[in-house]
Structure 1
Amino acid sequence: MSRDSRTSFKFDWVTIILYLLLVSFGWLNIMSASHEGDIQNYFDMSQLYGKHLVFMGLCVVLIVLILSLEAKFYERFASIIYILAMLSLVGLFIFGKDVNGARSWYGVGSMTIQPSEFAKFATALAVAKYMSDLQTDMNTLKDQLRAVLIIVLPAILILLQNDAGSTLVYAAFFFVFYREGLQQIYLAILLSTIVLAVLSLKFGVLITIITCAAIISIIYFFRRKKRASLIQSFIVFLVCIIFSYGVKLFYEHGLKTHQQNRISLWLRLEKDPIKLEKMKKEEAYNLIQSEKAISSGGFSGKGFMEGTRTTGKFVPEQETDYIFSTVGEEWGFLGSAFVVILFVALIIRVLYLAESQKSQFSRVYGYGVASILFIHFTINTGMVMGLIPTVGIPLPFFSYGGSGLWGFTILLFIFVKLDSNKINEW
């Protein structure tokens, strides 16, 4: 056997085992959240757990196909894969199927396919391809704008389909840009805008502007070149005023009622007890039931398929976006901690492998994988526990759905293949 053929089978089994544990444990919780009565057949296609088991079986086919292709295939055809993914998103406006108010699926017989799940790995490939180009320099504005355009295009297309949750995922690529040389000022601006937006809604525009003025004045006072920084400080203050008013106007006139209510409940903006109670019944019902399910699990949980709120179907969409509440109720703190450890271990492992890559393409793609998984995991678990506003976003490898499971599997195993080829990249 040749050296190349031997090294091609040196896949990172730590990553693969973590993936198998997450998918398997996810299926157990899907079965618990979706079963009705005694389970007679695990492959019962009338039940969600039966369908998901088939989805898992098809993942094996995808994995074999991904690992059998040459690693260079993904770099060579990254642009074509990205274009095809964008065309699939555009096609939804003509051939798409409306589900829960979002036009994000293609109907294929009795099944639905969500192309936004596949657009994630396609965008990660396109970003890796562009940033590994010898002519790309993330310190120049031209290349920064081009890189941002790659992630903005799918984000806008998905947002127009009324799927704000999936749109948020594309912010993950700013971590990739930062790793590849994007100046810290951009990350500081991103974090500052988030804080400024929250302050504007929570405490009002006036208090926010006064706070900004105080902070800017302190910074100006301690700067040595005060003449040069005076104009800069004034411009920053002016931008803060405009942005603060803009956030308030967008919240009041740009968001839909249910979106306003979710943010209002999260920031506790509503003071009228009657309106607040009505909002809780309508917009926060899922969250309240999810929190009750998690808290009822205690330290060790009620036991597999023994959760009263899970089996009683108290939590809507529990097998999809709220699957983590099943873990909390039936497996308790121990089970929830186990899931968190698995995700953290997987993300850290991908980052570790990404840093060991010999090619920039593989490294950038690895950071894209880790960033996407991190955003999904953080937003989903934070949403289920009420730490952030309710956003429709699945938990990777856990939530029910063929498109999501296949998309995340492809995303991860392309990197597994790229990592297996790093020895040949010397």
Structure 2
Amino acid sequence: MTDTAAPAPTAGALPRYPGPSLQEVEEARRVVSAVAEVTPMETSRYLSEILGAPVLLKAENLQRTGSYKIRGAYYRMTRLTADEKAHGVVAASAGNHAQGVAFAARELGIRATIFMPVGVALPKLQATRHYGADVVLRGHTFDESRRAAQEHAASTGAVFIPPFDHPDIIAGQGALALDILDQVPDLETIVVPIGGGGLISGVATVLKQRAAAEGRSIRVIGVQAANAAAYPVSLAAGEPTAIAMSPTIADGIAVAKPGKLNFAIIRETVDEVVTVDDDDIARAMLVLLERAKLVVEPAGAVGVAAVLTGRIHESGKTVIVLSGGNIDPLIMERVISHGLAASERYLKLRIPLPDRPGQLARTSEIVASQNANVVEVLHTRHGSGLQISQVELELHIETRGPEHAEQVLTALREAGYDPRRTL
């Protein structure tokens, strides 16, 4: 994991950033209020105890279309000329931006074409089509879909609506910060997911300007998925830098290179960028389900993951932005299982056994004696490294956490078995 501190603006006069002014964002909020709801701000006692300061959750997962993206897309399209609107709009996205553009286009009576990767999750594909957009499946990555969308724009005259790197998009997303200040006027720290940087650049420039005008400070912390963390590298290099990404469950913030305008704003306004890995994110999603009763997609849960892992230290009243809730139920099932395993509440064991009757019953009795529950069993003679006289038992066990899992392992070892954890 990597921490990167961005230079803080010089104290004194109202700072001038490369992003939108407060007046521009206030106008953007007036416009987008026609479609964007003011989402709930929920207090989390559980996270407050962990951080040692009040923690509130800004539930943008409950926004229309399931994420904050509707603000930037709608504001950008309201500023098109009549001729541009007549030519339609085009965008590329694997999910949230697609739905935001499709919804905004429907509300404004603009024809929309959305390019999505071939393997896009079915619920996101169906939702985008439901909002009335023409969907074209092209390429297997976001970059391939983006290139196809830009080629479509060049050949048809449709206006390309970028996901983050445009002043109107940033101003629209910045409107979220004004809602947050209305709900929590005394906030001291905000934690925001980062992909390309559209959301945090809008939020940070608003909060820093308001804080300077009021003679106080607001700390802005960005969070990226460790396998797609372009901002720590870029901030260290002093310019937007492309990285080689690895797969991550947080596909909504998997962007290989920061936007130019977003980077310029973030470098001046964001105090720190931290990263969390996929296990951390899965645990955070599980906490949000169990403790807050909120369904949040992996990209939207990274701020909570940063608190759970101690990447964020106590810094006064803290707001965490839950940026979206669009997740395929099949992915959710896998993430919950992964989160349970990462929390050691779902234990997978392989146990070599003598090939004689009664061994399965005996191991099951030992597990039951520790008040753990066996949910799946695989019994095979073909495991690698087994002797001819041995079989291998794979057990999937529900436990109450790390201490309980260790009790189960100890009981099996004391009975003469050699249990081995598996992923």
TM-score, normalised by the number of residues in structure 1: 0.20
More strand by share: 2
Which has the greater radius of gyration?
2
Q: Larger relative contact order (C-alpha < 8 A, sep ≥ 6)?
A: 1
